[in-house]
Amino acid sequence: MKAFAKIFSTGVLMCAAFSAAANDNFPNRPIKWVVPFTPGGAMDSMARAIGERLAQNLGQPVVIENRPGAGGTIGSALVAKSEPDGHTMMIVSIGHAVNPALYPKLSYDPVKSFEPVSLVAIVPNVLVVGPGVKANNVSELIATAKAQPGKLTYASAGNGTTIHLGAELFNAMAGVDIMHVPYKGSAPAMTDLLGRQVDMMFDSVSSAKPHIDSGRLKALAVTTTKRSSVLPNVPTLNEAGLKGYELNGWYAVFVPAKTPRPVVDKLNAEIVKAIKHPDVAKRFSQLGAEPVGSTPEELAKYLGSEIPRWTEVIRSRNIKAD
């Protein structure tokens, strides 16, 4: 027993020494930051803003690698198979919680294949109606939809997108039937909304704000439980009468499963620090994003609540991927 105890104790000390060494030596080469969508979008902009600060603070380049396709699953699969040493990480959106229900044959598990690092930001969407809709608030919109089932239409950026999910959640909670018109991206959807081809849309606050300010669109409510700093005078859907409605367009950072905890903690500390930097905060504000920064445990808990929530919405509304 004494011999066993000695061996066990030696093993514990060796593991502790290895973890400390991993932390002290990290990073020892450039960090690859996978963005599973095309350049230029909100996710890409956030990664680049944070990555610039990380590179300065960690003393190694942070290389953004865009791997778009299949709703973000191609990039996520790449990271899931990468070496778990902290030199490969990814930023994902709410799609990370949605994809298991949309793509039942994923090559990775959204929870087990990754280690959570930090929740980065929350981006509200806003319910806007076009020039042809007379409703001035959510209650009037619901009344109009109930009086004319299937007549009103909403645009989305495609099946399974946040914009689509937000509208289907609205349909379900309000007990209305507003017809879905999917587009290949939010830009053409917005064009047709302004052109009166469709009646309403759940768009990001930063994208919709210029049209709201010009008076071409009416903002009825935002989708988060707190008002947006970009549109402080616009109520939440909860405030507007649809009690319990919540849709957060969120962004978070993950690394491959089995990445040493000291490395995860170091990345977490540096990412949270970067989010608070004035230059990063300014960029987030331009994107309509509310900066967060969390512990790995808080992100794990949040993801654990989001997956079953959106799985239920997708299955009950029979939503399919494009």
Per-residue pLDDT tens for 138-167? 999 999 999 999 999 999 998 888 899 999
Tell me if 313 sits within 8 A of 281, measured CB to CB: no
Taking the C-alpha atoms of residue 129 and residue 110, their distance in angstroms, rounded to an integer, is 35
Total domains in the fold of the chain: 2
Tokens 């970067």: give the residue: 274
- DSSP calls for 55-110: HHHHSS-EEEEE---GGGHHHHHHHHTS-SSSSEEEEEETHHHHHHHH-TT-SS-T
Q: What is the CA radius of gyration of the chain?
A: 22
User: Does one domain contain both 100 and 134?
Assistant: no
Per-residue pLDDT tens for 174-193? 999 999 999 988 899 999 99
Which uninterrupted H or E stretch holds 256? strand 249-256
Paired tokens of 97 = 């919680």
Q: In this predicted structure, what is the pLDDT of residue 6?
A: 53
Tell me if 166 sits within 8 A of 248, measured CB to CB: no
* Burial of 238 (C-beta count, 10 Å sphere; 0-12/13-18/19+): middle
Q: What is the largest CA-CA distance in the chain?
A: 82
CATH code, domain with 58 = 3.40.190.150
Q: Is residue 51 part of a domain?
A: yes
Tell me if 132 sits within 8 A of 201, measured CB to CB: no
The pLDDT profile of the chain, 322 residues, written as one tens digit per residue, is 555 445 545 554 555 444 445 567 899 999 999 999 999 889 999 999 999 999 999 999 999 999 999 989 999 999 999 999 999 999 999 999 999 999 989 999 999 999 999 999 999 999 999 999 999 999 999 999 999 999 999 999 988 888 999 999 999 999 999 999 999 888 999 999 999 999 999 999 999 999 999 999 999 999 999 999 999 999 999 999 999 999 999 999 999 999 999 999 999 999 999 999 999 999 999 999 999 999 999 999 999 999 999 999 999 999 988 7
User: Does one domain contain both 256 and 116?
Assistant: yes
Taking the C-alpha atoms of residue 94 and residue 302, their distance in angstroms, rounded to an integer, is 11
Q: In this predicted structure, what is the pLDDT of residue 129?
A: 98
CB neighbours of 223 closer than 8 A, spacing ≥ 6? 124, 125, 126, 127, 166, 202, 236, 237, 245, 246, 247, 248, 249
H helix intervals, the chain:
2-25, 42-58, 73-80, 95-102, 138-147, 162-174, 186-194, 205-213, 261-275, 278-286, 296-316
User: Does one domain contain both 197 and 260?
Assistant: no
pTM: 0.89
User: Does one domain contain both 137 and 216?
Assistant: yes
Q: Is residue 231 part of a domain?
A: no
Q: In this predicted structure, what is the pLDDT of residue 2?
A: 53
User: Does one domain contain both 166 and 218?
Assistant: yes
Domain containing residue 175: 125-222
Q: In this predicted structure, what is the pLDDT of residue 155?
A: 97
User: Does one domain contain both 184 and 270?
Assistant: no
**Bridge partner list, 179:** 153
Taking the C-alpha atoms of residue 201 and residue 32, their distance in angstroms, rounded to an integer, is 35
